[in-house]
Each structure stands twice: as structure tokens, then as C-alpha cells.
Chains A and B, each alone.
Chain A
Amino acid sequence: MNGTFSRLLRYGLAYRRLLVQAIVLLAIATGGNVLGPYLIKVFIDSYLTPGVWVITPIAGLVIAYLVSQLISAVCFFQQAIRFNHIALDVVQTIREQVFSRVMRLPLAFFDHTPTGSLISRITNDTETIKDLYVNVISVVIQNAIRMLGILIAMAFLDFKLMLICSALVPAVVGVMLLYQRLSTPVFQRVRTLLSDINARLNEGIQGMAVIQLMNQQARFSRAFEQTSTDHYRAKIRNMLIDGLLLRALVDFLYMLVLAALLFAFGWDFLSPEGAIQVGVIYAFLNYLGNLTEPMIDMISRLNLFQQALVSADRVFQLLDETPESIPTQPLEPRDGSVRFEIEAFSYDRRKTVLTDIQLDIEPGSFVGIVGHTGSGKSTLMSLLMGFYPVELGTIRVGEVPLDRIDPAIRSRRIGLVQQDPFIFMGTIADNIRLDLDLTDAEVEQAAKQAQLHEAILRMPQGYQTSLTERGGNLSTGQRQLLSLARTLARQPDILILDEATANIDSHTEALIQSSLMQLRGRITIIAIAHRLSTVMEADHLVVLHQGHIQQQGRHAQLMAEEGLYKHMYELQQQKDPLVGQGIEAGQDS
């Protein structure tokens, strides 16, 4: 945990200039603030008590007082802004780093890490770090300097009395340590129980039908009540610790110090050489009040500190993950040929997903990969996209091993058309262009190739039509065509089409079909098809079953055999009798 904290602090130290400015401003602000009671003391002791009324020095005091208060307020505001800038910039830096790291982690990492927890680390955990910086670290610095300033001013007035007041500091530090030790476990318990309550509630709501069907309402209610009551008890304990140690205790200490001060004043006055001035008493009492407030403030922020360290730890763990490796001596693929030589592939090294895949794809050919759900066709394409490393075997693209190609080159040479593409807010042209520097003509060319041009021209503002989030104003088919256009705009050597489900309408299918026919022979096309009709025309068809190649050849050849392909074809000629009628929203079967 100590390592985490110092690592967090190092981020802040990068802003040395701002930090120095902030501390200097804070010192000035504190000075001005502390000066106030001192000036009043001078007024009381030198003018009020003796009854000396000289205009000029008194006016000087008044001006000094007003100016010091004003400067103090302005400086205080300015230093707070600087501390906040540092804090917020640190959080932005951490956010950028962790996001960038996540974007470059191997895909396997995402398979075993739930998306929700990843998002929460980049957003919520960094937000907690922000709170740590804004509400804890900068406040502690501010308060420490203020306390120091007050103690210095006190020492100026009366060293002995200052010593009495400074007894507060070790006492409060002791209370802090005690509080930390007592409160941390209880506080953690309160949080754990609260998340238990939420989990039970969530589960109860989602599984209520099951609970009712099993007649277990009473038992589940009792279990919930138990958790809720445990939480209540833990909160009471937490509150008791707060009550005994926080504000009440600091107030108590304050009054004790006040009593001690009064006694010291009185004692000083009664002793033979006593010469205590009333103004000193006035100033001291004022300072004392300002001394306790920052202390209470600091103690009550301790819980936040603990929590933020846990969050920071999680963020740093993510930052320390190893990103995907980039080849040191990258090679350029020569053409659009692909050669699969895979002995076996497994995601988890236990269950084999692909076995003995030997496949040669000529540049410019059109290959269809078909198979039932779970036959391994999407896995094969993921490997070609370099999403997962192949350990047993190789994939060569343009006669170069895939892992020797620079990822940036790879992603330009191999284009993937996805079923449900991401569409961001912006115009259609922007969505086709993405990050490339393309002319309008080139964008149009890509849209024409994807058979989307006509549809775009029919839209209100043509290529400048704004798309809503997730492409709500495009049909499913148009979204796919957009994805195709966007991929073609990058002029890949190899085009992969992943038609993961059968949910495309026949119109879109026909459009995609004719686009492919146009591209045929110019670039290599690999289509993963659920619907056989989209790939019937292919130069070569590969039929996968349970991770191996069961059949391959042209459509006519395969139809001549009594086998998997023929049966799949026949099955698709029929309509599934189970899917049919209008399904009412929310009402299944």
C-alpha cells in the first residue's frame, strides 16, 4: 500500500512549478489570515486599553487589516485552484495511461476479464483517485500549512502559551492513528455489507418468480433482514467510533486547551512578574479556534484515503499488465495470398477449437467458409486478424508469417467487415473515412463499391447526413454496407466478411453479393457465411465441422456428394417451423 501511495504522489511531483506556486500562495494566504488577530491585538494593547487615540497609526492598522484579509482571500482562492489543477491533471494523465494500456492488451485478456470491471477501473477507480487528490492530499497540505502558520504566530505572541496550544497537535495525531486503527475494519465491514445488501436485493428482484414458486419468500426475507440488520449494527459501531473520536473529542480537547490557556493567563497575571496583555489573550483565543477546525477536517477524511488507495492499487495493476508485443523486425506481405498451417488451436489450452487446418488461398480468389454454429469458422478468422497468437502452426499472409507483420500494416492490408459495426456520431462521410485522409471522391468511390452510394444520395443531406449514436437512422442492412464501404476505403489486399448470424434481409444480401462480384479477382475475399446462398459462387468452399475441415470444393462438387454441405443446403431451403409468427414484444412462446 505504501508503494501505491508514493507512486500516486510521484504523479503530482511532475507539476513542480504549479506546486511551488500553490505552496507560496498558500503561505501568503496563511500569513494574511494569521496577521488579522495579531493586528487586533496590537490595537487592543497599544491603543484601546491605554486609551491612546492617534489617527494615523490606527488608520494604518485598519488598512493593514483590510488589505491582509483581502490578499489572504485572493491568495487562498488562487492556491486552491492550482492544487485542483494539479489534482485533475494527474487524474487525466492516469486515465489516459490506463486507457491506452487497455487498448493495447492482448485480446485474450478481454476474454477472461468482465467488461464491466474494466470500465469501472478506467472510470470509477480513477474518479476515486481524483477525490483522493482533490479532497485529501491538497486538503492535508492546506491544513498542515495553516496550522503551522497559526503556531508560528502564537510563538511570536507568547512562546510558553504556544507550547500549551501545540499540545493539541500530538494529541490529535494520536486520535487520528487510533481512529484509523479502530475505524478501518468497521468501515470496510459497512461497505462489504452494503454491497451484500445490493447483491441480495438484485438477486431477489431477478429471481423473485423462482423464490415464489419454491415458497421461499419467508426464508429469503429473513436472510435479507439479517444482512440489513448486520449492516445497521456495523453502521452503529462505525458511528460510535466517529462519535467518540471525531468532532466531539476534538471539541473536548479544544475546551481543555482553552481551560489551560485561561489558567496560564491567570497564573501569569497573579505571578509577581506577570505582565500579560489583554490583546494577547484575545489573539490566542482567536487562533485556538482556527487551529481545531483543520484538525477535524483532516480526521474525517481518513476513510476516503483508505478507499482511494484500494482503487489506485487496482488501476496500477491494470497499468502493469503486459501489452501485446510488436515485431522488432517487421516484414511486408508480398501479395494477398493466405496460407493456414494450424496443427491445433485452443483458447484456454484445454479445449481444442481447431485441429489440422491446412488451407491455401490464392491472391484474388473468393473463398467461402461455412459450418454450423460452433464449428470454428469465426475462430479461424480471429486468428487471421491476429487477435490471438497461434502457438502450434503458422499463418502466412503474402508469404510472410503473420506475427512478423507490423500491426498497423496488418490492419491496413487485411480488412474486416463486421456484422454489427460501430457507428459514431458524425456524418456518413466521416464514418466511412474514419481516421484516413480521404478525398470526397475516394469516399464516394468506396460507397459505390459497397452499393451504398444510391442509398446515401436519397438521404436528406447525402454524404453530410449526421448519424445518430449507434447508427439509429440506418437500417441493419445499411449499417453492414457502411461497414463494407469503410473497409474498402482502406483498399485492403484481403477482405474478410463475417456474417455471424442469418439476420440479413434478402435485399441487403443481394447488394453485398453484387459488390463482391465486382471486387472478385482484384482482392482476396474470405467470407464466413451462415447463409450458403451468399457464397455459392465462391471459387472455393471450406466446410468446417467441430474445428476441422470436413469437406471442400466448389458448390457444384459439394452438392454432388451426400454430405454435410448438401444437408446444410437442404436445411436452408426450408423455413424453420418453430420461428414464424409475429412475436409479441415481451411475450415469448
Chain B
Amino acid sequence: MSVFWQLRWFFKEEWRRYSIAVLALVVVGLAVLVPPWITGRVVDAIAAGTLTLERLFINVGIVIGIAVLSYVMRVIWRVALFGASYSLANRLRRDLYRHLTTQSPRFFQKHKTGDLMARATNDIQAVEMTAGEAVLALFDGALTGILVLTVLVTQISWELTLIALMPWPIVGYFMWRFGQELHESFRLAQARFSDLNDKVQESVSGIRLVRAFGREGIEDDQFNAIAREANRANRMVARTDSKYDPAISLAVGMSFFLSVGGGAWFIVHDQMTVGELTSFTLYLGFMIWPMFAVGWMLNLVERGQAAYDRIDELMHTEPDIADHGTFEDKTAPELDISVHEFRHQPDGDATLTDILITVGAGELIGLVGPTGAGKTTLLDLILRLQQGPDVDIALGGHRLSEFTLANLRRHLACVPQTPFLFTATLAENIALGRPDASRDDIERVARIAQVHDDILRFPDDYDTLVGERGVTLSGGQKQRVAIARALLLDAPVLILDDALSAVDVRTEQSILAHLKAERAGRTTLIACHRLTAIEDADQILVLEHGHCVERGTHRSLLAAGGWYRRTYDYQQLERAVEDGR
């Protein structure tokens, strides 16, 4: 129940809607008590023969008035209460998204996408139901129950109330037992459903094997067996589920029986009228809903509590890259990189050791080395996607942490290893960092990135939608769109992190040639596997196990005859094979 207490900030904020809702609920709760009472009076007047036309009109008028009043109030509480709970969901969802935008890549490595999605969808929905349905069950269920009981006890007969309610505890017990049973069989049904899912997954993704072995019939048999199991599990659920209605109607029937039997006794002994008995049985019908409401509410609150705790935990995760810098000016694209040591985990092995690089404005730097050597980590440090105590990097003479993150990122444009395209048009994807860019600008950078011709081949050229609902781009096309996107930023420092791997050598050379002309005076860092991409670099660094093992220019490194030379020869041969020579 403490989730209600944790949500008090929201109830306070929305006190108007909640007050209106509770008020309307109270009015409805009271209003619905009137018609049975009126009915009882009319019945009595008929039985006693004292009914007059005038009294009839008044009574019927009251019932119609109550009907209108309770209709209006019912609409009001629903709009107020559920409206409030929906706005809580909207609010939490927006806050969560905003909070996610402040988190570093490390956070997204720690939390799986599916898990984050579950919190933003299912958990928020559970909290929404706590603020809506659970409040309804609490107020309406409890309120109706108490009001009806009060009327039964004080206005009609406490003895009869006691008699009539005798079956209820028994039903309550059965409801509880069915609930347990249902929970268990539902869990089983879910498990069978996921078996079904697994089987289909296996068979569909192994369709080639199925064909190769001619296993269609066997697959059918296996699937049918699982489908049969699922059917059986669902029958169990249905079996328990089907007990609810008869049990309730049996209980209501017994309750009516007892009240009529008991009522008859009281009527004979002149302690009650027939009209009162009629009212009584009508009121009795009102007791069904509160019976359910309590269990329902407890269930909702339990789920809401767990969900809210999970969301709260996420919202209280501080971003590990703090944005405390104040430097907001432009600065020269010179880099002073001094990484004494960097570890991903404090107790893990060093990923980078003793890397010292000075990069002058306008230089082209090449970073090469085997996979796992630490190239991406070094680039991440420059981008301040990661940071470490023994890492000192300055841009234009200012330490990276002195920059506001926004200003730092204005200086750096990066094409990451795996390009990511959003569900949007190609033009929008290229203009990601500058949404106001003109079509001319977009086409210009697309030409430099050698993707313009590819784009013209798509149905709506630059307005073609990419992603699940649009066209699928090849790996090379994606990379080139990402390059165009980075170029459009026109940033002083451009970082290509293995961004040309899926592009063929000819295209790569032509992109690099255009880059050179376009980016005179600005700094470029290229990490790559194919050495052809950095032949013209001012400095080339070879990283191995996080150490800088060779450095120099293409010519000097070839002459040195080390890793660089070996790789160069290997890649020459590889090209010959690729070309079919």
C-alpha cells in the first residue's frame, strides 16, 4: 500500500481531479441507494393500498432524477479519475525518456533494451492502473460496501443482514481458492505458449534443415503435440475460470433464499414489510461488486508497487558522465591526448596504456591495429563517451571536462562503427544533427559521401523512408549515410571509427579524396582495418593490446617492416583474391 504514499506528490498535484472524482463517486454511491428504497416504499404503498397518483408521480420522478444525476456523476468521476491516471503515465514516460537522454553508453550496456522497454511500457501501465483502477476499487468498492451495509443494518434489519450475508464468507473463500488455482494454471498456460513460440521459432529459422531432411511431417507432429499441450493448459484455465460465474450465482441465489426466508419470518411477526424485503434484496445485489473490488485492488497495488519501485530506481541513476563544464566558446581543432592508463573496470586489465598523441589543426591521423587493440576506446575517450582518472585530453588547450557537453559535441563529429539509422526519410537521417539544413546542403554532403546516386535509385529519392516500414539499406549504404550525416555538421574535428569497412576500395578512395578537399584546415581521425584508408595520413599509430607499438607515416611504417608491413602485404593478396586474380 505504500505505493499510494510514494505517489502522494502526484495526488497532491492532481488534487483537483482526485477530489472531483472522489466527490462524484460518493454522490453516485449515495444516489444508487435511493431507487431500491423508493421501490420498497411503492411496493409497501401498493400492498397497503395507500398509493395515490401524486405519490406515484413523485416517486417515479425521483428515480428519473437519480438516473440523470448518477449518469452525469459517473461520467464525471471516470473522466476525472482515469484522466488523472493517464496523465501520470504520460508524465512518467516523458520523464523517463528525458532521463535516458542524459545517460552514457555504459548505462545502456548495463541495462538491456528489452528491460528498459518493459519499464517504460508494462511498469508504467501498472502504475497507471494503481493511480486509476486501484483508487476506484478502493473508494468505490469500499464506499459502496460500507454504505449498503449501513443502510441494510440501520434502515432495514440487522438480523436479516446477518442471515443474508451468511453465504458470503464461504464464497469469499472459494473466490480466493479459484484465484490461486487460476494463477497457477495461467502460469502453466503462459509456459506452454512460450513453448509454442520456441518451437515455431526453431522450425521457421531452421526451415532449410527441415527441407533438406524432408522433415515437414515430423515438424508438424512435434508442433501439433505442443499445440495440444497448450490446448490442455488453456482448458485448465478455462475450467477454473468457468467456476466463477456459477459460484457467484449460487451464492447470490442462496443469499436471496435466506433473505426471503428470514424476511418472511419477520414479516409474519410484523417486524418488516414486503416493501422493505424488496428493497433489501435489491440492496443485496449491490454487495457483489465490493466483494471483488477488495481483491482486485490488492492485486493492482501489489503490481503497481513493484513497478513503481523499478521505475524509481531507474530515475535515480545519476549519469556517470557529469555535465559540469562551463566552457561555451569555439576553439581550435588541436588535440593533446595523454592516456596514462585506462581500465573499463577499476579491477580489470588496462585497455589503454601510455598513449601520447599531439594532433595539430588540420591534420589527418590514422589509427590501426588488430581487433581488440583499443582503437574505439581511445576514440570514445576523445568523444567523452567514457572517462578515466589517468586520462588527460585537451581540445584547443581546454580539458574536455571544462567544456559543456553540448559545446564539446559541437566541436566533434563522429561516424560510429555500426551506423544507426532512424525510422525517418533519408534526408531527415542525414540532417539528424542539423534539422534545418537545406536540401542543397544535404545533397552536397551525400555526394561527398558517395551515396547520392544510391539515394536517387530509391522510390522517393531523399524522401524515401528507411527502417522497418521503409526500405532496407545495405551495410555500405548505411555507412555512407552516416558519413554524410557527420559531414553536414561541419565540425572542426571529424572522427571515423572503422566507418568504411563495408564500402569497396574504389568508393573509399573517392570519399577520402573528396574529404581532403572539403576539410582543409580541420582535423580528421580515422580508425580502420583497411590500410588503404590512411595512406595519406600525417601520423599513423599502430595499437596492440592498448599500447602504441609503431608510429610514423605510411612510407616510414612500410620501411620499418613491422605489423604494418605484414598487414599491408596480406591485404594486397586479399585484394587480389577478391578481384578474382
Contact = CB atoms under 8 A, between A and B. Distances in A.
A24 interface: no
Contact of A262 (B38, B52, B218, B406): B38
B401 to A, nearest CB: 16
B121 A589 contact: no
A102 B219 CA distance: 11
Contacts of B42: 262, 265-266
A327 interface: no
A92 interface: yes
Nearest to A194: B121
Contact of A434 (B67, B74, B218): B218
Contacts of B230: 92
Interface of B is mostly: helix
Nearest to A109: B207
Contacts of B203: 99, 103
Contacts of A437: none
B517 interface: no
Interface string A57-82: 00000100110011011101100110
B94 A225 contact: yes
A216 B434 CA distance: 9
Tell which of A43, A74, A77, A242 has the most Cβ of chain B within 10 Å: A77
A95 interface: yes
B56 A77 contact: no
Nearest to A261: B39
A207 B433 contact: no
A422 B206 contact: yes
Interface string A210-232: 11111111011100110011011
Given A579-B370, A589-B498, A84 B117 contact: no
Contacts of A265: 42-43, 46
Contact of B285 (A199, A202, A224, A289): A289
A296 interface: no
Given A69-B254, A229-B90, A563-B581, A270 B489 contact: no
A282 interface: yes
A11 to B, nearest CB: 14
Contacts of B43: 265, 278, 281-282
Nearest to A545: B580
Interface in A544-571: 545-546, 550, 563-564, 567-568, 570-571
B414 interface: yes
Interface stretch (A252-260, A306-314, A512-520): A252-260
Contacts of B79: 236, 239-240, 243
Nearest to A252: B71
Contact of A119 (B204, B420, B563): B204
Nearest to B97: A224
A203 B469 CA distance: 13
Contacts of A579: 370-371
A209 B385 contact: yes
Tell which of B193, B210, B580 has the most Cβ of chain A within 10 Å: B580
A580 B371 CA distance: 7
Given A65-B257, A103-B219, A201-B97, A88 B235 contact: yes
Contacts of A286: 256, 281
A47 to B, nearest CB: 8
A411 B211 contact: yes
A2 interface: no
A208 B108 contact: yes
Query: Interface size bucket, A side?
Result: 35 or more
B508 to A, nearest CB: 16
A285 B43 CA distance: 11
Contact of A214 (B108, B200, B250, B489): B489
Contacts of A391: none
Interface in A248-305: 248-249, 251-252, 255-256, 258-259, 262-263, 265-267, 269-270, 276, 278, 281-282, 285-286, 289
A48 B274 contact: yes
Interface stretch (B98-106, B153-161, B290-298, B551-559): B98-106
B485 to A, nearest CB: 8
Interface in B40-94: 42-43, 46-47, 51-53, 56, 59-60, 63-64, 66-68, 70-71, 74-75, 78-79, 82-83, 86-87, 89-90, 93-94
Interface residues of B, number: 151
A564 B570 contact: no
A69 B253 contact: yes
Interface stretch (A122-130, A149-157, A166-174, A457-465): A122-130
Interface string B183-200: 000000000010011001
A197 interface: yes
B5 interface: no
Interface of A is mostly: helix
A113 B79 CA distance: 43
A91 B416 CA distance: 47
A10 interface: no
A77 B249 contact: no
B25 to A, nearest CB: 12
A33 B369 CA distance: 82
A454 B410 CA distance: 63
B150 interface: no
B299 interface: no
Given A49-B47, A259-B67, A411-B213, A205 B116 contact: yes
Contacts of A107: 207-208, 211
A504 B244 CA distance: 59
Nearest to A570: B573
A412 B573 contact: no
A320 interface: no
A213 B485 CA distance: 11
A414 B108 CA distance: 47
B95 to A, nearest CB: 10
Contacts of B193: 123, 127
A418 interface: yes
B216 interface: yes
A563 to B, nearest CB: 7
Tell which of A43, A122, A240, A414 has the most Cβ of chain B within 10 Å: A122
Nearest to A274: B46
A110 interface: yes
Contacts of A263: 56, 60
Interface stretch (B141-149, B374-382, B437-445): B374-382
Nearest to A69: B253
A568 B577 contact: yes
Interface stretch (B220-228, B328-336, B389-397): B220-228
Given A221-B98, A239-B83, A214 B577 contact: no
B496 interface: no
A360 interface: no
B435 interface: yes
Contacts of B121: 197-198, 201
A66 B256 CA distance: 11
Given A43-B260, A248-B75, A571 B577 contact: yes
B338 interface: no
B101 A80 contact: no
Contacts of A563: 581
Given A40-B260, A255-B66, A95 B433 contact: no
B101 A208 contact: yes
A315 to B, nearest CB: 13
Contacts of A278: 43, 46-47, 274, 278
B242 A80 contact: yes
A567 B78 contact: no
A251 B433 contact: no
B422 interface: yes
Tell which of A29, A214, A240 has the most Cβ of chain B within 10 Å: A214
Contacts of A583: 371-372
23 contacts: A62-B261, A73-B246, A77-B242, A84-B238, A89-B231, A92-B224, A209-B385, A209-B416, A215-B433, A220-B101, A232-B87, A248-B74, A255-B64, A259-B63, A266-B59, A278-B43, A407-B211, A415-B212, A435-B218, A546-B580, A567-B581, A584-B344, A589-B369
